[in-house]
Structure 1
Amino acid sequence: MASQIKDKIKNIRELKNYTQNYLADQLGISQAAYSKIEKGITDLSFNKLEEIAVILEVNLEDILHFETDLFLNNNSEIVMTEAKNNNDLVQNLYKDKIILLEKLLNKTDLELKRYRDKFGIF
C-alpha cells in the first residue's frame, strides 16, 4: 500500500533531522498547525506542498514518489526496500543524516574534552 503524502513528508523530514518546529517556522505557521499537516487533519494545498519540498531540499516529485520500508534484521542492520524512483533520494537523505550525526558526535567529544580539562575528572 502506498504511503500517504503526509507520511512521506514526515519520513523525509525525519531523515533530514528536521523538527516539526523548524518546518513550521519556515512555513510561517505554528508547530501545532504543522503537526496537523503530518497527521492529515489539515488538507495540504499544492502550493504548501511545493513550499515543503523547497524547505526539505527535495523535488516535489521526490515527495510524491517516496516509498521506503525500513526495518532491522537480526544483526541490527538497516534493510531497505525502495521504489525505483527514490533510490538516490533515500541514499542522499541517509548520507545527510550520517554527516549530521558525525558532526554532533564530534561536537559532543569536544564539549566532553573541555569539561574534563576544566574539572579534571573522568
Structure 2
Amino acid sequence: MPGKINENIKSIRELKDYTQEYMALRLNITQAGYSKIEKGTIALSCDKLEEIVSIFEMDLISIIGFERGLYFKSDYLKSKSPVGQDNLSNIEVLYRDKIALLERLLDQTDKELKNYKDRYGGL
C-alpha cells in the first residue's frame, strides 16, 4: 500500500542516493526546510511538488503510488544477523532489489521512448 506523499518522497530520494542537501539546493530552500517536507510538518505546495517530480525524473502518479516495500527490504534485513552467511544473504537481497528497480526503470523508459516515437514520429 502506498504511503503518504512525504514518506514516498523520502524513500525515492534515498533510493536515488540524493541527499537532503542536494534536494534543498535544487529546490532553492534550506536543508531544514526540505527535511520538514519529508517529515510532513509543513504543507507541500504544488509548485514544490512539481519541482520534486522534475528532479526525480518521474511522473506524479509514480511518486504518489510509490510502494517502499517493493524496493526496500529493511524488515527482512533487520531480522538477519550482520555477520556471516546472513550478511551475504543481505547483500544478495540488496542487489536483487537494485536489479529489479533498474529493470522497472528500463521498462518505464522504453514505454516513454515508444510514446515519444509514436507522438513525434521516430525522429
- When the two structures are superposed, what TM-score results if normalisation uses the length of structure 2? 0.60
Distance 1:93 1:32, change over 3 A: farther
Structure 1 runs (4+) greater than 6 angstroms displaced = none
Distance 1:53 1:93, change over 3 A: farther
Distance in 1 (CA, whole Å) between partners of 2:103 and 2:38 is: 19
Distance 1:26 1:2, change over 3 A: same
Distance in 1 (CA, whole Å) between partners of 2:33 and 2:104 is: 27
> What one-letter code is carried by the residue in structure 2 that aligns with 1:13?
R
Task: Answer 1 or 2: which has greater strand percent.
Answer: 1
Distance in 2 (CA, whole Å) between partners of 1:47 and 1:23 is: 14
Determine whether 1:21 maps to 2:21: yes
Determine whether 1:92 maps to 2:109: no
- When the two structures are superposed, what TM-score results if normalisation uses the length of structure 1? 0.61
Structure of larger gyration radius: 1
Partner residue of 1:38? 38
Q: CA RMSD in A?
A: 2.5
Q: Is the Cα–Cα contact under 8 Å of residues 2 and 68 in structure 2 kept in the other structure?
A: no
By how many angstroms is 1:36 displaced? 0.4
By how many angstroms is 1:2 displaced? 3.4
By how many angstroms is 1:92 displaced? 3.1
Distance in 1 (CA, whole Å) between partners of 2:3 and 2:19 is: 20
Distance in 1 (CA, whole Å) between partners of 2:66 and 2:15 is: 12
> What one-letter code is carried by the residue in structure 2 that aligns with 1:91?
L
Aligned residues: 86
3-state SS of 1:6 partner: helix
Distance in 2 (CA, whole Å) between partners of 1:65 and 1:2 is: 5
| Identity among equivalent pairs (%) | 44
Gaps of 5+ in 1: 81-89, 96-122
